[in-house]
Amino acid sequence: MAGESIVVYGITVNAVTSGASVINTAFSVAPTSSVVGSHVLADAVLSGTFAVAPAASQSVHLYRRDMNIKGVSAAPAPLASNKNIYVGSFILSTDATQTINLPAIPLSPDCEFYIENDSGQTLNAGWTLDIKPFGYGIAP
């Protein structure tokens, strides 16, 4: 109906287009692209194949690194000793190949994303992470 709030998606950012393998309990290396814009929320989509199918209820955690927060200064990259800023977890199925949506994660005006593999298995090289920013508009 006219005047109702509607979801308006921005352009999907391929934050990681072909990630290197990530062993269990490790963090991914620097992403391919950062997300810059005025949206405050996004859906994150992780796609990849594990060397061995993970057990039920294992996960891959998603972290955000804020960039250019004071001039060109950025927050430190997430590591095992610095798990900041956690934005959510992809809960895995028991399939070797996964495509999982993590809805409505928070964005900052300029940020990068890293994953922590907590699946019990190696995430093979070639995985991808897409960030689909969105906001709310008014229906015509």
| pLDDT tens for each residue of 3-20 | 899 999 999 999 999 999
Answer yes or no: is 2 within a domain.
no
Half-sphere CA count of 43, side-chain side, radius 13 A: 13
pLDDT by residue (tens digit) across 87-136? 999 999 999 999 999 999 999 999 999 999 999 999 999 999 999 999 99
Residue 4: inside a domain: no
Which amino acid, residue 137?
Answer: G
Does residue 139 sit within a domain?
A: no
Q: For 25-67, how does the pLDDT look when each residue is reduced to its tens digit (9 = 90+)?
A: 999 999 999 999 999 999 999 999 999 999 999 999 999 999 9
Taking the whole predicted model, whether its pTM rises above 0.75 is answered as: yes
Residue 49 lies inside a defined structural domain of this protein: yes
CB proximity list for 60: less than 8 A, separation 6 or greater: 46, 89, 90, 92, 115, 116, 117, 118, 119, 123
Residue 3, domain member (yes or no):
no
CATH number, domain with residue 33: 2.60.120.260
Give residue 27's domain range.
10-134
**Domain count across the chain:** 1
98-113 CB burial, b ≥16 within 10 A, e <16: bebebeebebbeebbb
87: in domain = yes
pLDDT at 3: 80
